Amino acid sequence: MDKIDVFKNSKMKIMYSSPSRIISWITIVLVIIVSFFIISISYRYNTYIEVISYVNINEKYNIRGIIEKKDMPIKKNYKLYIEGKRYEYEIVDIKEYDNYYELFIKCKVDKNLLINNNLVTLNFIKNKTTLMNEIIKKLRKE
C-alpha cells in the first residue's frame, strides 16, 4: 500500500478550495456592482418639487404657496399637478423671506378646489433624470 501523506493532501484541499470560493464571491460582488451601475445609468424617472399651498381668491392670483429656498428654481417648463390633474400655470409674483419663498400662482383650477383658504398640495414635475445624475449632484454639493 502506498503511504498517503495526510498533511500534504489536506494542504492541497485547502489551497484549491479557498481560492475558488473567494473568486466566486468576488465574481458575484462584481456582477452586482456592474448591474447597479447599468440600472442607475439607464433607468430614468421624474423628480418633483412638492409645495404646500392654499387657495386665496384674488384678482391677480388664486394660489399662494410656500417653498423652501433649496427647491426654488421653478422654471416655466415644469408641469403643475394639483390633486393628480395637470394644470397650466403662471407665476405672478415671488416674495423672498429668510428661509423660504412665497409664490403667487395664477392657474385655472377646478371649482371644487376654489374655496378660500383651501389647502392643496402642488407638485411641480421637473425633467426626467437618472439615479447616477442625482448621486453626482449630491456628491458635488457636499
Give the separation between CA 37 and CA 128, rounded to whole angstroms: 18
Q: Return the closest-CA partner of residue 109 out of 81, 132, 139, 135.
A: 81
Domain boundaries defined on the chain: 1-42, 45-141
- Over residues 105-129, mean pLDDT: 82
Q: Are 135 and 40 spatial neighbours (Cβ–Cβ below 8 Å)?
A: yes
Q: Which helix (H) or strand (E) holds 95?
A: strand 89-96
Q: Is the pLDDT of residue 138 over 80?
A: yes
Domain covering 45-141: architecture: Beta Barrel (2.40)
CB-based contact 78:126 (threshold 8 Å): yes
pLDDT at residue 12, as a whole number: 52
pLDDT in tens, 30-85: 999 999 999 999 999 888 888 888 888 777 778 888 888 777 777 677 888 888 88
Global confidence as pTM? 0.62
